[in-house]
């Protein structure tokens, strides 16, 4: 299955975020992180990761007793897909509406605003 068009569920995104930050991990390691924020059963975590493996969102290394999972899709690719989908469906194709909504609902600090300005300048220079 081509994972570039798979839309992960919210729970699958939580697992991907853990894998992106921690790197390759066992189900137990993932489960321990998930339990810090919500009541999650180990078997539920295991089943989710098996489904994610079937969807090719993660890879499973079966060479050791405890299977080790790693993300099979980059964070940047997934973010790009999800933002494009959001722009297309929620903002009628308007990236500016998305940006204004995001900035209106999130208190950006001076550093973030500076990064945004630099990015906009870079985009202007590419024209």
Per-residue pLDDT of the chain (127 residues; tens, 9 = 90+): 455 567 899 999 999 999 999 999 999 999 999 999 888 899 999 999 999 999 999 999 998 888 999 999 999 999 998 899 889 999 999 988 988 888 888 888 889 889 988 988 888 888 6
pLDDT attached to residue 3: 53
Give me the phi and psi of 108, to 5 degrees please. -80, 135
Query: What architecture does CATH give domain 7-71?
Result: Orthogonal Bundle (1.10)
CB of 26 closer than 8 Å to CB of 67: yes
Residue ranges per domain, the chain?
7-71, 75-126
CB atoms near residue 126 (< 10 Å): 6
Nearest to 67 by CA among 88, 52, 46: 46
Q: Are 15 and 34 in contact (CB under 8 A)?
A: yes
**pLDDT value at residue 100:** 86
């Amino acid at each position: 299955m081509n994972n570039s068009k798979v839309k992960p569920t919210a729970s699958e995104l939580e697992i991907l975020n853990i894998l992106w930050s921690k790197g390759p991990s066992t189900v137990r390691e993932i489960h321990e992180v998930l339990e810090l924020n919500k009541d999650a059963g180990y078997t539920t975590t295991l089943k989710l990761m098996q489904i994610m493996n079937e969807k090719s969102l993660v890879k499973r290394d079966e060479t050791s007793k405890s299977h080790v999972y790693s993300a099979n899709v980059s964070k940047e690719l997934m973010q790009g897909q999800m933002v494009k989908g959001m722009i297309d469906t929620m903002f009628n194709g308007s990236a500016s509406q998305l940006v204004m909504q995001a900035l209106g609902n999130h208190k950006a600090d001076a550093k973030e605003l500076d990064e945004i300005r630099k990015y906009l300048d870079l985009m202007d220079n590419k024209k």
